[in-house]
Structure 1
Amino acid sequence: MNIMEAGANWMTIRQQRTSTALNSASNNGLTGFEVVSRKGKELTLDDGTTCTEFISCSYLGLESHPQLIHAAGTALERIGIHLSASRSAMSPVYLRQLEQLLGDIYAGASVTVFTSTSNAHLGVLPLLGSGAMDGYPTKGSIMWLVDRTAHASMQVLRGLLSQFGRVKRVDTQDIDSLKQVLKRCAQTQITPVLLIDGVGSMSGLLPVSELSELLQAWGGYLYIDDAHGISITGKYGAGYAFENLGYRLPDNTIIAGSLSKAFGGAGGFIVLKPAYKASQLRELANPLVFGHTVSVPLQAANVASAQLHLSSDIDFLQSALWQNVRRLDGKVKQQMMNASLRAPIRGALFQTELQGAAAATALRANGIVVFPVFYPIVETGKAMLRCALSALHTPQQIDNLARQLNVQLSQASA
């Protein structure tokens, strides 16, 4: 940080460092384009052109599954779009059904649904930090340890979290430094709470089981945002974090998940120990007390998706996704971000924003749309083409993407 940035808030710093690349990408139709219709992974845009998209985070293609669409239509006819009330006033029957099914997916854990994963953070973290969350006791004060790769939805809460305890950014890859912080917490009777991603939205997989054990040893809690890991792996599509934990939720570990990505529906949820009484969240979590529930058709779609997760269908969809991931890895000549990792996102890094924008433009001209990202998602001055893979992509679509990436990466490195 330079002198001009000293003492500035995070939004001011972001504005100072953000270039014109984001606006240029939108103005040139590389981002922000409007979709008129869709068939599989083929889009028809508002300008009449068609293209193959590698942008959607619906990694299993469940958002267009006939059972979800039928369930949504039936609920729309029965109840309408929404009940326009908080769940403490009334809620559609689908909400109770969904939470019961999610409890089955997570081996009897207590599961509460929110309108988004971000709202799950807003509802649960203040309660945990207050020391009054049933079954999650704290000693003395709290120290929030926010991993440097944690999702922006948690990073942005630092001001809120500071009302309950000190906030410190950490690097979970520097395990020795993390252990020193945990040791100091133990010596001063402070309860550490480590906030991490499971499958990163941009890169990496964290060793959640090892981190859970480490926090347990030092009397702390591990809070995992596994939004991008849900459904794509694990028994019943329970996700990366729960799978890595051996399908057992330790008493010191909390998982936040998404229903809006690979799950195929909408909303978020929190997974707590089986003995936890969810009525406390319904009474005290702000997003549940003062906010509406997920719209009725999407709640019904969530229920249909949960039923598919508890069937063998999820295994076939997961298999199709990982076949596509392996196919792309084997055909792109230069190593991409996340190459060989069990993550559905790949990234082609370019050393300048101009190179990245030019590559995205070339792909668009060849009928492929990816997500070109710049600062603050990647380092200042650099660019990345973020490619999200799906079980719905055909081998031909994967091969075409690989060919175009090879051309653009080769030209950029020449």
Structure 2
Amino acid sequence: MIEIGNAFWNETEQNGLAGIVADLRPDGRLITASGHEFVNFSCCSYLDLDSHPKIIDGAIEALKRFGVLDHCISRIRLQLPALLELEASLSSLFRARVISAISASAATAGILPILASGYLTGGVRPTMVFDKNCHFSMNLYKPVCGDESLVVTCPNNDVNFIEDLCKSHQRVAYVTDGTYSMGGHVPIKDLLALQQRYGLFLYLDDSHSLSIVGEHGEGYVRSEMDEVDPNTIIVATLNKAFGTSGAAIMFGPDGPEVGKILERFGGPLAWSQPMNTAAIGASLASAQIHRTPELAQRQRRLQENIELFDRLVVTEQAGNKFPIKLVTIDDSRVVQCGKTLYENGFYVSPVFFPIVARDSAGLRVMLRAGNTSEEIKRLCELIREFVS
């Protein structure tokens, strides 16, 4: 992986598409020290909330209120009242019991080994089924889970494969993304049916759809459920469309008890690294924005931009209402295409193995609510010129 991937990264760096240093201007464009201006089409802040004045002010006000950036002590022993205030706010917003973490990756590192141990499945160690396309942050813990239970890799979104395992194993836990980082959703309705029939445990990272889907930005997976089942855990970063920092872990009715176990035994969740004060204050402000009509307005603008791009450039992700689009380009040309776009004022990440499968390179276009129609049209014009 390193041998193949590093060759691409070296080419990317040599062509000035990695390690770029730039300041963000008030109009949303970026500018380098040499004066080169460009629009960033490789940003996960899909609703452009990360630069929202209320979120910036929320971070500053929290720092002033509590007078400390980070206590640097496990929350088991000591925590700021603002952390509990945030979790109560997110619990109300997402209609689930929510506890926070410093990142979604830290949440995964803390939860998956406990899940594999059988503690969350009635003392029965579940067969751990990892989707082939689930994010590296989850796949990374296959060996750790393998110390506790049987680990199996499942073809992407293969419901029949999962059901066959449910029929032949006492308990099964399925680990995957709710919305994949290269586009597409998990077949949540089918999985919920398996959950009702066999007690399938679902561990879903829905980081890429949080805020952009749902009346209150609860994300794709949560918006498809009436309530969070006791056999479901949903993890989502707050660093993307939510516009702040940290992560939310959504539980069902057993949330308080499970949360306590994770705080005591969940690896990074038990260490001295909770969300810092600025992140908490910013997240409280974002949660308030999520309760106003502004959320729907930004969601609608994002969808309009997605639809515009889909009309102008054909991708496999066209029509899925998701802001990431992969424009397939041959391995030998993808970096040069990215360089041409950058020279013309648009930064779009070239992606290659191991980010995507071998021989499946392309440009990963990431759309945002703040992109203007003129920017999108010009970007699409340049892309069409290059791939024609």
1:169-228 CA deviation, whole Å, 9 max, x = no partner? 10144333332222221xxx3x11001111111121111122122133222201111010
Kindly report which structure 2 residues correspond to 1:273-284, keeping only aligned pairs within 5 A, or say none: 273-277=252-256, 278-284=259-265
CA contact (8 A) 2:129 2:152 kept: yes
Aligned to 1:354: 332
CA contact (8 A) 1:146 1:168 kept: yes
Aligned to 1:255: 234
CA distance in 1, matches of 2:25, 2:14: 23
Aligned to 1:11: none
CA contact (8 A) 1:216 1:252 kept: no
CA contact (8 A) 2:58 2:281 kept: yes
1:19/1:283 Cα in 2 relative to 1: closer, same or farther (>3 Å)? closer
SS state of the match for residue 146, structure 1?
strand
Aligned to 1:236: 216
1:101 and 2:81 are equivalent in the alignment: no
1:365 and 2:343 are equivalent in the alignment: yes
Aligned to 1:338: 317
Aligned to 1:210: 190
How far 1:163 sits from its partner (Å)? 1.4
1:128 and 2:109 are equivalent in the alignment: no
Match of 1:55 among 42, 66, 69: 42
1:299-343 CA deviation, whole Å, 9 max, x = no partner? 1001110111122221111111111111111122xx213111021
1:356/1:281 Cα in 2 relative to 1: closer, same or farther (>3 Å)? same
Of residues 309-318 and 150-159 in structure 1, the stretch that sits farther from structure 2 once superposed is 309-318
Letter in 2 for 1:149: N
Aligned to 1:266: 245
CA distance in 1, matches of 2:361, 2:119: 44
CA contact (8 A) 1:197 1:225 kept: yes
CA distance in 2, matches of 1:301, 1:84: 19
CA contact (8 A) 2:131 2:157 kept: no
Letter in 1 for 2:147: Q
Tell me the TM-score normalized by structure 1: 0.89
Kindly report which structure 2 residues correspond to 1:174-185, keeping only aligned pairs within 5 A, or say none: 174-185=158-169
SS state of the match for residue 283, structure 1?
helix
CA distance in 2, matches of 1:157, 1:175: 22
Aligned to 2:207: 227
Aligned to 1:73: 60
CA distance in 2, matches of 1:393, 1:72: 25
SS state of the match for residue 293, structure 1?
coil
CA distance in 2, matches of 1:281, 1:243: 25
How far 1:106 sits from its partner (Å)? 2.1
1:153 and 2:137 are equivalent in the alignment: yes
SS state of the match for residue 270, structure 1?
strand
How far 1:84 sits from its partner (Å)? 2.1
1:96-153 CA deviation, whole Å, 9 max, x = no partner? 111001111222x2111000001111122222222223xx4253x3211000111110
Identity of aligned residues (%): 30
How far 1:15 sits from its partner (Å)? 2.2
Tell me the TM-score normalized by structure 2: 0.95
CA distance in 1, matches of 2:346, 2:5: 26
1:305 and 2:286 are equivalent in the alignment: yes
CA contact (8 A) 1:337 1:347 kept: yes
SS state of the match for residue 62, structure 1?
coil
Unpaired runs of 5+ in structure 2?
none
Letter in 1 for 2:381: R
Letter in 1 for 2:248: F
CA contact (8 A) 1:212 1:253 kept: no
CA distance in 2, matches of 1:241, 1:409: 35
Aligned to 1:6: none
Letter in 1 for 2:268: P
SS state of the match for residue 196, structure 1?
strand
SS state of the match for residue 332, structure 2?
helix
Letter in 2 for 1:122: A
1:295 and 2:283 are equivalent in the alignment: no
CA distance in 1, matches of 2:252, 2:299: 27
CA contact (8 A) 2:98 2:255 kept: no
CA distance in 1, matches of 2:289, 2:198: 39
1:32-56 CA deviation, whole Å, 9 max, x = no partner? 2112233343111233211011011
How far 1:348 sits from its partner (Å)? 0.4
Aligned to 1:4: none
CA contact (8 A) 1:142 1:164 kept: no
SS state of the match for residue 71, structure 2?
coil
- Give the CA RMSD over aligned residues: 1.6
Aligned to 2:367: 389
Return structure 1 stretches of 4+ with deviation > 6 angstroms. none
Aligned to 1:376: 354
Give the number of equivalent residue pairs: 385
1:137 and 2:115 are equivalent in the alignment: no
Letter in 2 for 1:401: L
Aligned to 2:32: 45
CA distance in 2, matches of 1:17, 1:215: 40
